[in-house]
Amino acid sequence: MAQVVTCLDQPSSYRDNRSEIDRETERRLLAQSSTLYVGNLSFYTTEAQMYELFSTCARPDEGGGIKRIIMGLDRHQKILPTFRSNPGYKEGRQFGRGKSGGQVRDEFRQEYDSGRGGWGHQRLEEEKRRQEQERLRSQIQFDTYAAVGGLGMAGADVPRGEGAGADRQKRGRSEDEDIERREDEKRLRGERDDE
């Protein structure tokens, strides 16, 4: 099913320059490999977390599963931890490194995630954004799942949004929570439902 859309499970364009094997062999080996490289992890990512997430990709009923996780700092530069499952790597390669001996980066995270080290490299602005994010968090909690439609629980103490969000506060309990009701809301606003 690849003609109308690019498959995402293609090998990375990264190539190990120090590797002596030719491209064809490399491609063949990659096709057989069950080792996965995951880069750009947080310093705080644990093996147990990796195990939990990547278990969902394994096929245990066909003899698959996570055989091994190799995670550690770069031997020389101690930069970013890397991850591998399953054997099939060469000694030394557990310390993932790119062209400059560091890390290859092919995708960037755009969103803020304190669990993954905030904004990444933009340290200077991090704290400022973190505060903004904290403010947004309570906002998001309200907005994301409750912005349109019933909360299902009348009178629950919902974090108050600011500005535009504030007028979406209380609304009636409805048996059918599924109705899109931007319009209805305006009418229901202000009506407390204490049943």
Partner 1 sequence: MSYQNGFNPAQMMGFGNPYAAAFGSPGGYGGYGSPGRGGGRGRGRDDRRGGRGGGRGGGGPRDSRPPIPENSNARMRKMVLKLGDDDEYHPVDDPHRLSRVLKRAWREGSAGVCEGFRISVTQQPHKHSYLVVLLLSLSRRNSPTTEPNEGDEAQVGDKRKADDSNDEDVEYGREVLEDLSRALRGWVEGREWQNVRLGLQFFSLLVPAGLVTSSSLLGVYKSLLAVLEEVGGGGDRAERAVRAVGEGLIRSGRVLYENHPEEVENLVSAIEGYIIGRRNEVKSLVDPFSPVSLDGQEHTPTPDTLDNFLSALHALRADSFALPHSLPRYWESATLSDGTIQSDPYELSPISMPPEMYAVDSNELDKGEGRIGNIKLFGDDVVPPPETLEGWVLRSLVLDIINIYEVNRKECATLLLSFRKFLPSNTFKPVNPPTEEDEDKVLSTWSSESLIISTLLNSLLTLPRSTYKSIYYGSVITELCKISPNTVAPPVGRAVRKIFSYLGSGGSEGALDVECQNRVAVWFSTHLSNFGFQWMWKEWIPDLDLPLSYPKRAFMRRVTELEVRLAYYDRILDTLPEPMKAEGAGVISSEPPEPFWPYEKPDHPLHTEAKELLQLFRSKTSPSDIRTHIETLPNSNSGPGESISEDIRKMVFETLLHLGSRSFSHFLNATERYLDLLRYLTSESSSRQLLLESVWTYWKHSHQLKLISVDKYLQYGILEGLDIVEYLFESTDSDEVEEGDGWTDGWKFEILKMTIEKHVGRTQSIKNRLKVIEREDEMARARRAAELLEKGGDVGEGTGEEDMEEDTRAEGSKAFNDAQTSLDIQSTRLEKILIATIKQFVTSLLPINSASSNQGLKGVLTLLNSGEEGLWSVRARLGWYKEFVRLWSPHLIPLAEPIENSVFSLRSSTDENDEIDRRAVELVKGIWNSALEL
Contact set for partner 1, span 150-189 (CB under 8 A)? 151-153, 156-158, 161-165, 176-180, 182
How far apart, in whole angstroms, are the C-alpha atoms of residue 129 and residue 43?
A: 20
How many residues at the interface with partner 1, by CB under 8 A?
73
Q: Does 32 bind partner 1 (CB under 8 A)?
A: no
- From 115, 121, 124, 194, residue interacting with partner 1 (rule: CB under 8 A): 115
- From 81, 96, 117, 149, residue interacting with partner 1 (rule: CB under 8 A): 149
Q: Does 41 bind partner 1 (CB under 8 A)?
A: no
Q: Does 100 bind partner 1 (CB under 8 A)?
A: no
DSSP string covering 34-96:
----B-S--TT--HHHHHHHHHTT--GGGT-----------TTT-----B--SS---TTTTS-
Return the number of the residue (21 or 148) whose C-beta is nearest partner 1: 148
- From 21, 29, 73, 147, residue interacting with partner 1 (rule: CB under 8 A): 147
Q: In the bound complex, what is the minimum distance in angstroms from residue 159's beta carbon to partner 1?
A: 8
Burial of 111 by CB count in 10 Å (0-12 exposed, 13-18 middle, 19+ buried)?
A: exposed
Q: In the bound complex, what is the minimum distance in angstroms from residue 79's beta carbon to partner 1?
A: 19
How far apart, in whole angstroms, are the C-alpha atoms of residue 58 and residue 173?
A: 42
Residue with tokens 């929570």: 177
- Angle ∠(186,187,193) on CA atoms, nearest 5: 110
Q: In the bound complex, what is the minimum distance in angstroms from residue 165's beta carbon to partner 1?
A: 5
Q: Does 141 bind partner 1 (CB under 8 A)?
A: yes
Q: Which stretch binds partner 1 (CB under 8 A): 4-12, 74-82, 119-127, 186-194?
A: 4-12
- Angle ∠(174,177,181) on CA atoms, nearest 5: 90
Nearest to 82 by CA among 62, 102, 63: 102
Q: In the bound complex, what is the minimum distance in angstroms from residue 102's beta carbon to partner 1?
A: 20
